[in-house]
Amino acid sequence: MNGNRIERTELPEPRYEFGGDDHVFVELDEAMSFDANFQAMAITQQIDERDIAGVTEICPANASYMVRFDPDVIHPETMVEELKEIAAETDISEYSWETRVITIPVLFQDPWTHETLMQFRDHHQDPDATDLEYSARINGFDGVEGFIDAFVGSPHMVTMVGFVPGLPWCFQMVPRTEQLEVPKYVQPRTDTPSRAVGFGGAFSVVYPVQGAGGYQLYGRTPIEVLDVDQQLPNFRDSMVLPNPGDILNYRRIDREEYDTIREEIEEGTYEYAIEAVEFVPDAFFEAPHEYNEELTKTGVSSS
Amino acid sequence: MIEVVKGGVSTTIQDLGRFGHYHIGMPPSGAMDLFSHKVANALVGNASDAATLEMTYDGADLRFEENGVIALAGAPMPAELDGEDVPMHEAVRVEAGQELETGFTTEGARTYLSVSAGIDVPEVMGSRSTYTLVGIGGHEGRTLQAGDELVTGENGAAPDTVVGNTAPEENLPDLENSNVLRTVIGLCDYRLTDESREQLCDVAWKVTPEADRVGYRLEGPELEFVEREQPFGAGTDSSNVVDVGYPIGSIQLPQKPIVLMRDAVTGGGYATIGTVIGADRSLLAQRRTHETVRFEPVTVEEALDARQSVQDDLAAIRTAIER
């Protein structure tokens, strides 16, 4: 049955492009797919492991990746040769990586994002509906409840982190036919509450800080994804929670639980639900729903 | 200790930048005009990675509570130390109790002030650079304001060995006539129509008031994208691509070009069409609002030659100082 598997995407020849004298940008595909993203993930992990002299930044993106380097140490052409060599040796069918399943509690239709989205109705495709009502309708759901069920029904993989520190772009781990797709706002908003959970194109996001944004707004999480002061226990090693390759499992909560968790976050006592897992692309492609269920139920603890 | 008497329009503490964290959305920050930052440090005998003050348009006024040496580099800025003129690109002795007053840059946008041994603030992720968006680095992660107190480092060069150092004029950029930005065209430039790709390098682009450490937004003709059925995940607008990482110096096109600078947004869904080369990003940082810039297409080899030429200038300045 096609519908229960992830159909593999044949990727075109990658495009190697110079970004000035100190970056190489590699486009693996113009369209988003798990194949393109996993390839980006696998190659960037290999670059990291090779510890190539002169490389200063290694950035996987949704269907591409980028490296920054010091051209005094490595010539741009040599850099591209290295990347091609790594690509030739990378086969995601034989690849797996250590990652984490992170539970993100979300209060959908919360008062804060609701206030914001109502403020910006004139920037929206459908001024008479909420973002959730609009998204549910254009994705063929009878109502908001069914749409939220689909949104939280399968985990989302962090396929890229960026724009601002700690903002994860997440691609839901389901076959193409089940994937939700929603346009961004016609005009970006000038405001978004911090910790808002949104969706645009085929990606869910969590906004780490208050600011501009163009994604449809669905809810708000009480937990932080960015802690610049590194006060929370889970941020001791890094001020940013999500990393490329992590798996976010959105969990629907009510207002009472939201308030309880928020209080614990503010007191610094909240324990993030994080499970270390081994991610095997091939097993996921074969039976995504079963694989996801196992991932989110019985993550193999790392310690 | 240095007391800030007046902060200026936008003065921040910067060094060479913060690296290794772009993949979690953390831009490098660091001096926008890296060349001038290095010159300022060289004049007072500092290593390049010492933190300087980056002053934008209007300088800061400072009271020094210890003896030391300072130097100004980059955009020419009128400055007086207790009423005595402070020349640009020269190491000047300061004594405890003296006050530096500065005015508006007469050309260019950014002036760097170095102090012997550098400004000492705690490093965040390996750098003292200020990144105001999330409020890290520098002094409390923000622009300086009156009343702030800055600590300087220890073990600076002995004042007598550096006071009077100057940088030879011929090795400094001519800011007034530096509006050509050499650019490696590429990345997602296939999204542009042939006509628009030509236009990009043919017209003069005007720097808008929205030009800051994140990016320089430019004003000019509307560029057009090739019509296509948008690929899955790219979003509905023809300016959108499936989100990519943005190189520092890259030109992205939410219709009007934005050249990303050192506090760049690290990635997103706008098509990028080329990258201003390393050597010329310092020059762009000195362009003022309403001035124009042009993009000149170059090859990577030409970009590397330009890089070498900047390094030669810096080496010549260091040699002149050591003589």
3-class DSSP string for chain B = CEEEEECCCEEEEECCCCCCCHHHCCCCCCCCCHHHHHHHHHHCCCCCCCCEEEEECECCEEEECCCEEEEEEECCCCEEECCEECCCCECEEECCCCEEEECECCCCCEEEEEECCCECCCCECCECCCECCCCECCECCECCCCCCEECECCCCCCHHHHCCCECCHHHCCCHHHCCEEEEEECCCHHHECHHHHHHHHHCCEEEEEEECCCEEEEECCCCCECCCCCCCCCCCCCCEEEEEECCCCEEECCCCCEEECCCCCCEEEECEEEEECHHHHHHHCCCCCCCEEEEEECCHHHHHHHHHHHHHHHHHHHHHHHC
Residue A22 in contact with residue A68, Cβ under 8 Å?
A: yes
Query: What count of residues does chain B have?
Result: 323
Q: Report d(CA B176, CA B287) in Å as an integer.
A: 9
Can you give the residue ranges of every domain in chain B? 2-167, 176-311
Pairing status of strand B10-14 against strand B92-94: unpaired
Give chain B positions within 8 Å (CB) of A44.
23
- B79 alpha-carbon distance from chain centroid: 20
Q: Report d(CA B4, CA B62) in Å as an integer.
A: 5
- Taking the CA atoms of residue B201, residue B202, residue B203 and residue B208 in that order, the dihedral angle to the nearest 10 degrees is 10
Flag if A163 and B268 touch (Cβ within 8 Å): yes
A:49-68 residues touching chain B, CB 8 A cutoff: 56-66, 68
* Distance between start and end Cα atoms, chain B: 30
Q: Across the interface, which of B22, B141, B231 has its CB nearest the CB of A30? A: B231
Cβ count near A158 (within 10 Å): 26
Count A/B contacts: CB-CB distance under 8 Å. Answer: 185
Comparing CA positions, the residue from A154, A247, A175 lying closest to residue A8 is A175
pLDDT band per the 50, 70, 90 thresholds, residue B222: very high
Q: Across the interface, which of A23, A30, A33 has its CB nearest the CB of B275? A: A23
A18 contact B CB<8A: yes
Flag if B232 and A32 touch (Cβ within 8 Å): yes
- Please give the radius of gyration of chain A, using alpha carbons only, rounded to the nearest integer: 20
Matching residue, tokens 């492991």: A49
* Distance between start and end Cα atoms, chain A: 38
- Tell me, what's the pLDDT at B255? 73
Flag if A63 and B249 touch (Cβ within 8 Å): no
Q: Which of B243, B246, B282, B311 is most worth mutating to test chain A (most A CB atoms within 10 A of its CB)?
A: B243
Q: Report d(CA B4, CA A214) in Å as an integer.
A: 39
What is the DSSP-derived secondary structure letter of residue A213?
B
| Options 3.30.450.20, 3.30.365.10, 3.40.50.720, 2.40.100.10; CATH of A98-301 | 2.40.100.10
Residue B79 in contact with residue B59, Cβ under 8 Å?
A: yes
pLDDT band per the 50, 70, 90 thresholds, residue A302: very low
- Show the tokens assigned to B104: 């508006």
Q: Report d(CA A27, CA A148) in Å as an integer.
A: 32
Q: What architecture is the B176-311 domain classified under in CATH?
A: Beta Barrel (2.40)
Interior angle at CA B131, CA B60 and CA A210, nearest 5: 120
Residue B12's contacts (CB-CB under 8 Å, 6 or more residues apart) are B53, B54, B129, B130, B132, B138, B142, B143, B144, B213
Q: Across the interface, which of A27, A162, A226 has its CB nearest the CB of B266? A: A162
Q: Across the interface, which of B233, B236, B267 has its CB nearest the CB of A163? A: B267
A27 contact B CB<8A: yes
pLDDT exceeds 90 at position A27: yes
- Tell me, what's the pLDDT at B101? 98
* Identity of the amino acid at A133: E
Q: Report d(CA A216, CA A182) in Å as an integer.
A: 8
- Tell me, what's the pLDDT at B177? 85
Average pLDDT over residues B210-220: 95
Residue A266 in contact with residue A279, Cβ under 8 Å?
A: no
Comparing CA positions, the residue from B90, B247, B275 lying closest to residue B168 is B90
Comparing CA positions, the residue from B285, B291, B189 lying closest to residue B239 is B189
Burial B41-54 (b: 16+ CB within 10 A, else e): bbbbbbebebbbbb
Q: Report d(CA B216, CA B208) in Å as an integer.
A: 7
Q: Report d(CA B271, CA B190) in Å as an integer.
A: 9
Give chain A positions within 8 Å (CB) of B282.
none
pLDDT band per the 50, 70, 90 thresholds, residue A298: low
Q: Across the interface, which of A181, A203, A228 has its CB nearest the CB of B135? A: A228
User: Nearest chain A Cα to B308, which residue?
Assistant: A72
Task: For B167-196, write each residue's pLDDT tens digit.
Answer: 999 999 999 888 999 999 999 999 999 999
Task: For A41-80, write each residue's pLDDT tens digit.
Answer: 999 999 999 999 999 999 999 999 999 999 999 999 999 9
Q: pLDDT > 90: what percent of chain A? A: 91
Burial A276-290 (b: 16+ CB within 10 A, else e): ebebebeebbeebee
User: Nearest chain B Cα to A229, which residue?
Assistant: B136
Residue B319 in contact with residue B312, Cβ under 8 Å?
A: no
* Helices A76-88/B300-322 angle, 10° precision: 130
CATH 3.30.1360.40 boundaries in chain A: 15-93
User: Nearest chain B Cα to A243, which residue?
Assistant: B24
Q: Report d(CA A66, CA B268) in Å as an integer.
A: 13
Average pLDDT over residues B281-292: 97
Flag if A162 and B267 touch (Cβ within 8 Å): yes
Residue B25 in contact with residue B9, Cβ under 8 Å?
A: no
| Options 3.40.50.300, 3.30.1360.40, 3.10.20.30, 1.10.357.10; CATH of A15-93 | 3.30.1360.40
Flag if A60 and B23 touch (Cβ within 8 Å): yes
Comparing CA positions, the residue from B131, B174, B246, B104 lying closest to residue A20 is B246
User: Nearest chain B Cα to A215, which residue?
Assistant: B235
- Tell me, what's the pLDDT at B117? 96
Comparing CA positions, the residue from A190, A83, A181 lying closest to residue A135 is A181
Q: Report d(CA A183, CA A205) in Å as an integer.
A: 14
Q: pLDDT > 90: what percent of chain B? A: 95
Task: For B232-282, write each residue's pLDDT tens digit.
Answer: 999 888 889 999 999 999 999 987 899 999 999 999 999 999 999 999 999
Task: For A221-271, write each residue's pLDDT tens digit.
Answer: 999 999 999 999 999 999 999 999 999 999 999 999 999 999 999 999 999
| ipTM given for this complex | 0.96
Task: For A190-207, write each residue's pLDDT tens digit.
Answer: 899 999 999 999 999 999
B:3-42 residues touching chain A, CB 8 A cutoff: 19-26
- pTM for the structure as a whole: 0.95
- Tell me, what's the pLDDT at A1? 43
Q: Report d(CA B50, CA B65) in Å as an integer.
A: 20
Task: For B36-68, write each residue's pLDDT tens digit.
Answer: 999 999 999 999 999 999 999 999 999 999 999
